[in-house]
Amino acid sequence: MRAWRPAVGGGPLPPSSVPPGARVRQVGGTLLPGLRDAHVHSGLVDLRAVRAGGISQVDDLGSVPASVAELLAADDPELPQVRAVGAFLTAPGGYPSDRSWAPPGSFREVRSVVDAQAAVGEQHRSGARAIKVVLHPGAGPTLPARVLAEIVSTAHGMGLPVVAHAEGDNTVRGAYEAGVDGLAHTPWTERIEDRLLTDVAQRMSWISTLDIHGYGSDTAELRTAVDNLRRFCHLGGTIRYGTDLGNGPLPLGINAREVAALQTAGLAPDDVLTAMTDLDSPAPPCWVPGGLDRRPSRFAGSLCTARVLDPSPTS
């Protein structure tokens, strides 16, 4: 599989760069590492359609852990690779416990510091690859700082990064100060001031999720998010392509509007590819049959023709 790992950011590699002895399958077009959507709710979308639309790997950012485990146990070759965070960790009565799309089990109400350790342990045992916490004071109670800190330290002790849904005034600062590693969404409710953003860019990664703020329409929320992401990118912050699939009318598969919005925020085509790939992932590669058009105005449309390549042909 190592031979499937073309360099991202350095441009296409010629056939002469294939290592001697590598198993070779000749295909026209452009081969890419597996493309990832880093924010998906697998209980709310048809993952087979997501893979058929060119996504090789999804990060599930909040589902019922048992449902994800059942999905993975099926070992269905038509499914993308799935890495999950388990359930949302939230305050009793906090977001998203009152939302119709959040079934019992998709969130875990954390009642105390001691309960924080238990809640993280439960997600870890369910196979979670990260822990998701909620900071959304406008939608109900939020986790006290000491409980949030315990979640973060317990997760880190288990080798799990923590990603936050941070929505509303000062929640990005709260996440940063608690030691949270990433945000599930580019902040969209307020402009993140430069001094905080400089610190945040040193340590946090952000999942883009720009298109949910308009689904193709220009909105104030989209402009705020793009402005924050542009400055975060400029400061060297790590950006992951993610769409929040399951939240509203998003295309299943690669989302050209999300790609275009990333470009609007200042990412070059190679930066977008970096945001969509994880070279340490075993996800199968993707293939653009007609060749990837890296001209900025054509890039998003061209990338959407990518398809996941079966890495293990038997014939």
Question: Cβ of residue 148: shortest distance to Zn ion, in angstroms?
Answer: 19
Binding mask 73-112 for Zn ion (x = CB under 5 A): ----------------------------------------
The two three-digit tokens of residue 7, written as one number: 């360099």
Please identify the residue of the shown chain whose CB is closest to the bound Zn ion: 244
Question: Cβ of residue 24: shortest distance to Zn ion, in angstroms?
Answer: 40
Angle at 107 between CA 62 and CA 44, to 5 degrees: 40
Question: Cβ of residue 42: shortest distance to Zn ion, in angstroms?
Answer: 11
State yes or no: residue 278 binds Zn ion (CB under 5 A): no
Residues 12-31, interacting with Zn ion (CB under 5 A): none
Q: Which is nearer to Zn ion, 244 or 258 (CB)?
A: 244
Q: How many chain residues are in contact with Zn ion, going by CB under 5 A?
A: 1
Q: Which is nearer to Zn ion, 37 or 244 (CB)?
A: 244
State yes or no: residue 59 binds Zn ion (CB under 5 A): no
Question: Cβ of residue 95: shortest distance to Zn ion, in angstroms?
Answer: 11
Question: Cβ of residue 208: shortest distance to Zn ion, in angstroms?
Answer: 12
Stretch that binds Zn ion, among 63-71, 93-101, 223-231, 240-248 (CB under 5 A): 240-248
Q: Which is nearer to Zn ion, 40 or 201 (CB)?
A: 40
Stretch that binds Zn ion, among 175-183, 236-244, 251-259, 274-282 (CB under 5 A): 236-244
Q: Which is nearer to Zn ion, 139 or 306 (CB)?
A: 139
Question: Cβ of residue 139: shortest distance to Zn ion, in angstroms?
Answer: 14
The two three-digit tokens of residue 93, written as one number: 């009565």
Stretch that binds Zn ion, among 30-38, 71-79, 95-103, 237-245 (CB under 5 A): 237-245
The two three-digit tokens of residue 163, written as one number: 């990603």
Question: Cβ of residue 138: shortest distance to Zn ion, in angstroms?
Answer: 16
Question: Cβ of residue 247: shortest distance to Zn ion, in angstroms?
Answer: 6
Question: Cβ of residue 212: shortest distance to Zn ion, in angstroms?
Answer: 8
Q: Which is nearer to Zn ion, 185 or 307 (CB)?
A: 185
What one-character-per-residue DSSP string does the chain give? -GGG-PPSSS-PPPGGGSPTT------SSEEESPPEEEEE-TTTS-HHHHHHTT--EEEE-S--HHHHHHHHHT--TTSPEEEE--SEEE-TT-TTTT-TTS-TTSEEE--SHHHHHHHHHHHHHTT-SSEEEEE-GGGS----HHHHHHHHHHHHHTT--EEEEE-STTHHHHHHHTT--EESS---SSPPPHHHHHHHHHH-EEE---GGGTTTS--HHHHHHHHHHHHHHHTT-EEE----BTSSS--SS--HHHHHHHHHTT--HHHHHHHT--TT--PPPEEETT----SHHHHHHHHTT-EEPPS----
Stretch that binds Zn ion, among 64-72, 243-251, 261-269, 279-287 (CB under 5 A): 243-251
State yes or no: residue 244 binds Zn ion (CB under 5 A): yes
Stretch that binds Zn ion, among 26-34, 87-95, 238-246, 269-277 (CB under 5 A): 238-246
Q: How far apart are CA 229 and CA 61, in angstroms?
A: 20
Residues ≥6 apart with Cβ < 8 Å to 293 = 299, 301, 302
Cα–Cα distances (Å) from 69 to 86, 126, 253, in that order, read 10, 8, 22
Where along the sequence are the contacts to Zn ion (CB under 5 A)? 244
